[in-house]
Structure 1
Amino acid sequence: MVTAELAVAIPSVVLVLALCLVAVGAGVDQIRCVDAARVAGRAAARGDDPARVRALAAAAAPRAAEIAIAGVGGGVRVTVTARTGGWGGVLPSWTLTASAVTPVESTAAGGPR
């Protein structure tokens, strides 16, 4: 009797654990998207080279993330988008997005860079 119950319970526990791990992974990737947008937004607001801004964002973002940088009325918007989940095509995947808008900083002379 116990064997039949364990045969049903163990796969159920494994499935729930796998779903929890996918959810935690998605949460970690969302935090990485937020951090990448923040770091890149700060660098772009300082006037760093666009290639450096992209490199900073790519270093902080999840693998294969898309990075968009745009000027927005006296500021800079950085949007980082990444796909997560899927687990080999068995589970659905999600699109994670984070944006940061940062005002452009002025130089010591008082004008924007």
Structure 2
Amino acid sequence: MRSDQSSGQGRRRDRGFVTAETAVALPALVLLSALLLWGVVTAAAQIRCVDAARVGARAAARGDGNAGALAQAAAPAGARVSVATGGDTVRVTVEAPSSAPGRLGGALSVRLHAEAVAAREDVIGSTGGGGRWPD
């Protein structure tokens, strides 16, 4: 009988510990979930930057005058697109900001960057090969 009484007293002293542990653990889980979600969103934005640079480089290589607009349309919101032509290549650079949600945004800000280079098609045929690719 004595063991029943001592275990009952132990339970009374432990009462409320589960509530206190939950009160500490839940905000930590919410913060962790928010950071994981931000990481997934940032990875998706990086992929969009890479795709936008690739689309812009392809369009600029074909001689399309609105390559920058095409790249801007494929890029994430707030992205900056630049198209540079040099020699027989074109280079498209896409930069976009990505900051964490809420108050963490200032501390966890990342600058996404993607770059694509393509050979200009208008100079490929002018190298004396008669418009054909070398064998």
Larger CA deviation: 54-63 vs 33-42: 54-63
Q: Identical aligned pairs, as a percentage?
A: 51
Out of 50, 57, 66, the residue aligned to residue 80 of structure 2 is 66
> Following superposition of structure 1 onto structure 2, how do residues 1-113 of structure 1 map, counting pairs within 5 Å?
1-49=17-65, 52-91=66-105, 92-106=108-122, 110-111=125-126
Q: How many equivalent residue pairs?
A: 109
Which protein has greater RCO, CA pairs closer than 8 Å, 6+ apart?
Answer: 1
CA distance in 2, matches of 1:79, 1:54: 10
| Structure with greater helix share of residues | 2
CA distance in 2, matches of 1:72, 1:93: 32
Structure whose CA Rg is larger: 2
Tell me, yes or no, if the aligned pair for 1:25 and 1:85 is still in contact at 8 Å.
no
Structure 2 length-normalised TM: 0.75
| Structure with greater strand share of residues | 1
Deviations 1:11-42 (A, max 9, x none): 11000000001111110110000000000000
CA distance in 1, matches of 2:103, 2:82: 27
Deviation at 1:3, TM superposition (A): 0.6
Cα RMSD over matched residues?
1.8
Structure 1 length-normalised TM: 0.88
Unaligned runs of 5+ residues in structure 2 are: 1-16, 128-135
Specify the SS of the correspondent of 1:48. coil
